[in-house]
């Protein structure tokens, strides 16, 4: 039953989920969900620009997502527009700009819904190399900036006062997010990437005694959701990206149930 394309899909899903989990924890802790969404939406503009200038798609998406993240940081600091409005403006205008640009390039044959909702079954060997190679690099860098990033999440001033560089860690973190968005795009699609970042992290919360355990658990739960979603997608012939997200939602709801049950049992104990 394990056709070659399906094996590749499984490997791609696993690779993305294992990286998205730990990264997603920081998005949850720092309340950056909307920020991540905005970066993800800008990926379509990245695709359009990459096609226009004939550069590698992954590279184009990474560059535009990173650029949008930096623009957000600078614009938020200038306090011209409230941050949430700013996010809304950039999120939807980059998505719309991408769509308009792609429509202009009449010579371009592009599977739009594949980019918006993921086309994991079309993942090839080169994509797998990018997903796993990039994923390992992202995890490596995340481990490297872990202490300043976590300290800055708790309190940036405290971290800076005691000799760490939380601002730098935050910028590096945004680059990591851009990297994950660029590689996860094929798996779950631009519109659903944030779900893969946030839902496993939220599910891991109730069972993690430390930030580190929560990050690992989020990766594991995300991987479980990716596997479950892909098998369901094969079985019921549903689109793979949304199936993975629905599976992640299932994992999250199950974690709520399990947590409530545990609290109930703890309450019964004398």
Partner 1 sequence: MSQRSVRPAVPPCDAERAPAAAEVLLRLRGVGVRRGTPGDLRWLVEDVDLAVRRGEIVCLIGPNGAGKSTLVRVAVGVQAPTVGSVERAPGLTVGYVPQRLAIDRTLPLSVRRFMSLTARHREADVTEALSATGVTHLAGRLLQNLSGGEFQRVLIARALVRRPDLLVLDEPVQGVDFAGEIALYDLIREIRDRLGCGILLVSHDLHIVMAATDTVVCLNRHVCCTGTPQTVAETPAYRDLFGTRAAQALAVYEHHHDHAHDAGGQAVPLARDRQG
Q: Which residues bind partner 1 (CB under 8 A)?
A: 28-31, 147, 150-151, 153-155, 157-164, 201-202, 205, 208-211, 213-214
Nearer to partner 1, 73 or 167 (CB): 167
**Residue 199 CB, nearest approach to partner 1 (Å):** 13
Count Cβ atoms below 10 Å from residue 205 Cβ, excluding itself: 17
Contact yes or no for 151/159 (Cβ under 8 A): yes
**Token code pair at residue 214:** 């929560």
Nearer to partner 1, 9 or 197 (CB): 197
Nearer to partner 1, 155 or 238 (CB): 155
**Residue 219 CB, nearest approach to partner 1 (Å):** 16
CA–CA separation, 248 and 218 (whole Å): 11
Nearer to partner 1, 51 or 164 (CB): 164
DSSP 141: H
**Residue 164 CB, nearest approach to partner 1 (Å):** 6
**Residue 154 CB, nearest approach to partner 1 (Å):** 6
**Residue 168 CB, nearest approach to partner 1 (Å):** 14
Nearer to partner 1, 202 or 244 (CB): 202
Count Cβ atoms below 10 Å from residue 196 Cβ, excluding itself: 32
């Amino acid at each position: 039953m394990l056709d070659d394309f399906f094996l590749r899909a499984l490997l791609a899903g696993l690779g993305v989920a294992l990286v998205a989990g730990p990264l997603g924890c920081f998005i949850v802790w720092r309340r950056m969900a909307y920020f991540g969404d905005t970066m993800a939406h800008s990926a379509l503009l990245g695709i359009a620009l990459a096609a226009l200038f004939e550069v590698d798609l992954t590279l184009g998406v990474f560059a535009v997502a990173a650029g949008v993240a930096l623009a957000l940081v600078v614009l938020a600091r200038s306090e011209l527009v409230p941050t949430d409005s700013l996010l809304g403006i950039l999120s939807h205008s980059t998505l719309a700009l991408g769509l308009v640009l792609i429509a202009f390039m009449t010579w371009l044959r592009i599977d739009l819904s594949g980019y918006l909702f993921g086309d994991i079954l079309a993942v090839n060997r080169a994509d797998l190399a990018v997903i796993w190679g990039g994923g390992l690099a992202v995890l490596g860098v995340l481990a490297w900036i872990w202490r300043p990033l976590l300290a800055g999440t708790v309190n940036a001033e405290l971290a800076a006062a005691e000799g760490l560089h939380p601002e730098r860690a935050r910028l590096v973190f945004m680059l990591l997010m851009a990297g994950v968005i660029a590689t996860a795009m094929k798996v779950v699609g631009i519109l659903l990437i944030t779900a893969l970042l946030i839902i496993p992290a939220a599910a891991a919360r109730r069972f993690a005694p430390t930030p580190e355990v929560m990050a690992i658990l989020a990766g594991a739960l995300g991987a479980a959701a990716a596997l479950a979603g892909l098998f369901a997608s094969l079985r019921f012939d549903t689109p793979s990206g949304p199936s993975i997200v629905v599976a992640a939602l299932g994992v999250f709801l199950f974690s709520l149930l399990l947590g409530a049950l545990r609290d109930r049992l703890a309450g019964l104990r004398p």
